[in-house]
Every structure is written in C-alpha cells, then in structure tokens.
Chains A and B, each alone.
Chain A
Amino acid sequence: MSSTHTTTTGVRLTRAKRLDYASLVFGVLVLAVLLFPLYWMVNTALQPSAALAEIRWLPQTLDLSNFRSAWNSQADNLLTSILVALGAVAVCLALAAPAAYALARFRLRGARTVVFGTLITQMVPGIVVANALYNAYVELNLVNSYLGLILADASLGLPFTVILLRAFMVSIPEEVLEAGMVDGANRFRVLLSIALPMSRNALITGGLFTFLFAWSDFLFALTLNTTDAVKPVTLGIYEYLGAHVGDWGAVMAVATLSSVPAAILLVVAQRYVAAGISGGSIK
C-alpha cells in the first residue's frame, strides 16, 4: 500500500518537473519577445553609427562613442530630471503623510469625501491640467522654473501616495499609537515618531513611484517650459530625436541613459515596485 503510494508520488514529481522545465523555456521565450525592443535599444547604442546601415544582432565591439556623445548632450538634463524628481518626492511625501494619517486615524466628518475626491483626481487628464496650469503659471511667473515643474510633477504621485499610505496606516493597531500619547505627546509627535517609522515601506513605495512618475513626465516638461532653462531628459530625448533623426546610435544611447532609474529600481527595490503597482490601484 505504502509502496504504491510512493511510486505514484514519484511519477507525479517527475511529470511536474518536466512541466516545470517546459514552463521555464516558454517563460524565457515570452521574456525574450517582450524585452526585445529594449535589447535592441542597448544593442543599437553600442554600435558605431557607421555600422548601423546593416542589421547586427549582436554588437561587434563595445563602442561607447554613442554614450559619450549622449552624455555630453544630456548630462545637464539628467541632473535636472534628478533634481525635479527628488523635489517632487519631497513635496509629495510632505503633503501626503499628514493627510493620510488624518484620513486613516481621525474620525472626521467629511473624511470619506476627501478620500473620494483623491480617487477622482487620478482621472483628470494631464493635458487638461497643463492647459489651465500654463496660463496660471504665466500669471504667477512660474513658467521655466524648477519650482513650477516640481509642483506640477508632485501632482502625479500625490493621490496615489495618499491612498497607499492611508490604506497602510489604517492597519496600525490603535494601542501602539496610544502608547505614544501617554506622556502627553500630541498627535503630530505621534505621527512623526511612531506612525511614520512604522509606515516605512508604504512611504518608500509612494516615494519610489512619485520619483518614477516625475522622472517619466514629459507632458509638464513640454508644456510648462518655453526655454531651455529647465529641461528634463524626457524633453531632451524628444528634441534629440527631432534633431538627430537617422543617427539612431546616439538617440538610443540617450534612451538607454534615461531608462537607468527604471532598471535600478527593478533590481534594488523590486518588491516595492510590485507592491506599488497592485497596491496603488486596487486599494
């Protein structure tokens, strides 16, 4: 009785294992097809411009001249992107953290309406915001300014971060927060010294996504700037594409450079990224 049991288990195991490998192969195939354009981007960037007349599936030599010229033209823009994205993260977290805390912990009349409104804001098309914002910015002298772009880009992550943080803070046990109030600490102190440290993961996720949204922003960069004073790399690549159409090696090198944050995030902060995509939408 027991021997037949083991054999059937054994058979099932090998069959399962074979299925495993079939899945693995199929998975690699899917991955190869879907990531091919990105491979092609790097491949093109690594070939000298002269070699691009014919299709080379692999770079023959590691030619970094495209990256050198991309860096020379885009280093300033990359720096602008970093500054603007970090600024947007700072603004977003500073506004979202107290709001999410209050929406999660205080029993305020109208709190539901605020949550509802926050959800709705995610549906306002960016071009509609830009249309009105540009005109307001002209009046306020915010066109072509870092502050203007940072404030606009922070709007890309704020609703998402409020919803995400609130969902997290609702689940903190009340006793933990009350323990901090025994010595007479006020609610703000509790937020700073207890609730925020406990919400670290949600804060990281919200911050990462705000950074990513701001880094990827093209619309506000395009519409709220009329000079080259504040030019993030998304705008840089768009103009570069117009000016260097045909010189694919250089354009693809810029594209590769501007994908670096996404690649880093994927390696370093994988679990936050997955949590952010699902958490920000369903919760």
Chain B
Amino acid sequence: MTTTTPTPSPAVRERSPGTAADPGAAARRRRAVSQWLFIAPAIAYMLVFFSYPLVRNVVMSFQQYTPATYFTGEAPFTGLDNWRAVLTDELFAASLWHTLVFTAGSLAGQFVIGMALALFFSRRFPLSGVMRSLLLLPWLIPMVVAGTVWRRVLDQETGVLNEALQGLNLTSGAIPWLSSPDFALLSVILVNIWIGIPFNMVILYGGLQEIPREIREAAVLDGAGFFRRFFGVTLPMLKPVVTVVLVLGFMSTVKILDLILALTNGGPANATETLGTHTYQLSFLQLDFGQGAVVGNVLILVSMVFAVIYLRANREGMAR
C-alpha cells in the first residue's frame, strides 16, 4: 500500500478551523464541498449496495416473510422467532460445520499447493512466464463453469477420474464423488482448491520476488538446507503476504455459493449445504427471507472476525 505520510502540509494546516474573520474560510469550505462531490457518487453507491443490505438483513431477520408478502407487502415483525427457528434447526448446525470444513480444507490445500508452485516458478527456466499465466485459467473462468466441468470429470458413471483410477488399478470400483454424502464435501473442497491455486500462487510469487536475493544466498552460504531456508528465512519474511493471502482466501471461500450449486446443489442429503447455500435455499427457494437473513447475518459475523484481521494486516502493510 502506498504510504500516506501524516506530515503536516500547507493543505492540512488549511483545514484547521478558521476564525470568522478569516476571509478565506468560506472559499475553502466551498472548495472542500466541491472536492467531496468527486467521491459522493461512489459513496452513495456503496451505501446503497453494501451498507443498506447489511442493515436491511438485520431488520429482515426479525420479520416474517411468506410468499404472500409479495402480494400484500406485509412482513410483520415477529421478534426472535426466525432466530429461534433457524438456530434450533439441525441443518443450520450442519451448514455451519460444512462451511468451516470447506473453508479450512480449501485454504490449506490452496495455500500449500500455491506456495509450492510459487517457489517452483521463482526459479527462472524457459517458458516459466507463459506457464504461470496459463495456470491462471482456472481462476479466470466463471465458477459455475468450473463446477459444471468438474461435474463431468467427477461423474460416477462416465467421469474420466474414475475411469483413470480404475484403469490404473488404484480403486476397485467407481467412487461416487458427488453422489455420496461421504465424498461430496471432499469433492467440493478439491474442486475449490483447484480454483484457488492460481490466486495463491500469483500473490505468493509476487511476495517471493520482493525478498532480496542476497538474504537467501547468505542462508545458502551458511549451509542452511531447503527446509531450514524456507521455514527460517523465506516464510518469516513472507508473513505479511501470507496473512493477506489467507484472509482474502477466507473471505472469498466462506461465501462461495455458485460452485456448490453447480456441483451438488447442496446435496446429497445436505452433505454440502453451507451457510451461503442455506441462505439461498431459505430465502429464494422457500421464500422465507427472514430466516434467510438470519443465516446471512451469521455469515457476516463469521466474515467480520476475519475482516478485522485483514484490516490489521493491511494497516501494517500501509505503514511499510
């Protein structure tokens, strides 16, 4: 992040409250107003598309929505009914658990493989640049498309993965990747790892480039082996980048919906239902927006914890 130094400048001094006698005060105020006009449209837009939904979801979580609401326009307040109904539902606990497993599993896989690839690509060899950009493709295609493609690859009967595993005699029968509750969550995690590898790789690669060569060379001269070098030098120096990657990864993973809808639709037997898909099911399929809002609010609470971590990491980055 670019350094915004808080050194007092003429413009800052200008801001200090002028006395009534100051003839320039009015002009300055007028200028400040005209300057804010540059930002006003963006702020208004963000208030409508981000702040309003946050507030409205809290209000909605205390209201009762039924399909009839759209004819009558009435959504009466029912206190904590929605919260009670959602939180005592077993499906909510399951969704919360799936969300945590999905997020933790995805992050671990994406990070480890992304890091390995970043290290691999930071040695220069022919075509490494071209390969690095080709690897971005999984991240660039729409998630619904990725889900659709993997549904084909993982298909129990006609999928190429089962065909290959059986051809190599690695498994005796076809594995029901997406059609068995025992495998579905794992499969969805594997696909999401595939999607997230490029993002992790690109940012970690960028971080690795920033580490001065001399430091690693010095460690080599000191006789440090690969793992000593990685855990003793590279990883500590990469820490700010690692934090940002993990937190951004968390933020985007915890709310994933389209991938799961395309792959499993939350099934089989709710095995891949997460907070995101559960909100969608409640609001848009059962048309109970009040209960959907409750789950959405829980999702926000979970995200908020990590938002704080992200902003702290970012502030450290800004101070650099």
State A259–B300 Cα separation when bound (angstroms): 31
CB atoms of B60 and A282 under 8 A apart: no
Q: Which chain A residue lies CB-closest to B38?
A: A102
Report the minimal beta-carbon distance from A93 to chain B, rounded to whole angstroms: 11
Contacts of A170 in B (CB 8 A): 2, 4
Tally of chain A residues near chain B (CB < 8 A):
100
CB atoms of A123 and B136 under 8 A apart: no
Pick the contact of A218: B41, B42, B144 (CB < 8 A): B144
- CB-CB contacts of A9-41 with B at 8 A, as 1s and 0s? 000000000011101101110110011011011
The 4 closest A-B pairs by CB, nearest first: A102-B38, A99-B42, A132-B53, A216-B142
Pick the contact of A55: B11, B163, B296 (CB < 8 A): B163
A102-B148 contact, Cβ under 8 Å, with A127-B255, A132-B53 = no
Query: Which of B82-90, B181-189, B194-202, B218-226 is found at the contact surface with chain A?
Result: B194-202
Contacts of B258 in A (CB 8 A): 218-219, 234
A37-B194 contact, Cβ under 8 Å, with A31-B135, A131-B283 = yes
Contacts of A96 in B (CB 8 A): 42
Size range of the interface on B?
Answer: 35 or more
Contacts of B135 in A (CB 8 A): 30-31, 34-35
Report the minimal beta-carbon distance from B249 to chain A, rounded to whole angstroms: 10
State A40–B262 Cα separation when bound (angstroms): 17
Quick check: is A5 within 8 A (CB to CB) of the other chain? no
CB atoms of B136 and A125 under 8 A apart: no
Contacts of B203 in A (CB 8 A): 277-278, 281-282
Contacts of A103 in B (CB 8 A): 39
Q: How many A-B residue pairs have CB under 8 A?
A: 290
A124-B53 contact, Cβ under 8 Å, with A34-B197, A234-B145 = yes
State A171–B2 Cα separation when bound (angstroms): 8
Report the minimal beta-carbon distance from B61 to chain A, rounded to whole angstroms: 10
A258-B293 contact, Cβ under 8 Å, with A155-B49, A278-B202 = no
Report the minimal beta-carbon distance from B99 to chain A, rounded to whole angstroms: 11
CB atoms of B296 and A106 under 8 A apart: no
Q: Which chain B residue lies CB-closest to A155?
A: B49
Contact sample, A vs B, 19 pairs, CB 8 Å cutoff? A52-B158, A106-B35, A108-B35, A124-B54, A124-B303, A132-B53, A136-B52, A155-B50, A170-B4, A216-B144, A234-B142, A237-B148, A238-B144, A251-B148, A259-B141, A277-B198, A277-B203, A278-B202, A281-B203
Residues of A within 8 A of B (CB): 19-21, 23-24, 26-28, 30-31, 34-35, 37-38, 40-41, 44, 52-53, 55, 94-96, 98-99, 101-103, 106-109, 111-112, 114, 116-136, 138, 151-152, 154-155, 158-159, 162, 167, 170-171, 187-188, 191, 212, 215-219, 222-223, 234, 237-238, 241, 248, 251-252, 255, 258-259, 262-263, 265-266, 270, 273-274, 277-278, 281-283
A24-B140 contact, Cβ under 8 Å, with A41-B152, A171-B2 = no
- CB-CB contacts of B54-77 with A at 8 A, as 1s and 0s? 101100100000000010000000
Contacts of B145 in A (CB 8 A): 234, 237, 255, 258-259
CB atoms of B137 and A262 under 8 A apart: yes
Quick check: is B310 within 8 A (CB to CB) of the other chain? yes
Quick check: is B280 within 8 A (CB to CB) of the other chain? yes
Pick the contact of A126: B36, B194, B255 (CB < 8 A): B255
Pick the contact of B35: A102, A112, A123, A212 (CB < 8 A): A102
Indicate the member of B143, B293, B296, B317 with the most A CB atoms within 10 Å: B296
Quick check: is B314 within 8 A (CB to CB) of the other chain? yes
Contacts of B296 in A (CB 8 A): 125, 127-128, 131
State A131–B50 Cα separation when bound (angstroms): 12
Q: A23-B123, A123-B251 are in contact. List 15 more A-B contacts (CB 8 A).
A: A27-B128, A28-B131, A41-B152, A106-B38, A107-B12, A109-B15, A119-B314, A125-B276, A131-B289, A167-B2, A187-B35, A223-B280, A237-B148, A258-B145, A277-B136
Report the minimal beta-carbon distance from B54 to chain A, rounded to whole angstroms: 6
Report the minimal beta-carbon distance from A11 to chain B, rounded to whole angstroms: 18
Report the minimal beta-carbon distance from A1 to chain B, rounded to whole angstroms: 23
CB atoms of B202 and A274 under 8 A apart: yes
Pick the contact of A151: B49, B52, B245 (CB < 8 A): B49
CB atoms of B41 and A132 under 8 A apart: no
Report the minimal beta-carbon distance from A219 to chain B, rounded to whole angstroms: 6
State A181–B293 Cα separation when bound (angstroms): 50
CB atoms of B133 and A270 under 8 A apart: yes
Report the minimal beta-carbon distance from B69 to chain A, rounded to whole angstroms: 9
A266-B133 contact, Cβ under 8 Å, with A98-B38, A234-B144, A258-B145 = yes
CB atoms of A282 and B43 under 8 A apart: no
Contacts of B70 in A (CB 8 A): 138
State A151–B152 Cα separation when bound (angstroms): 33
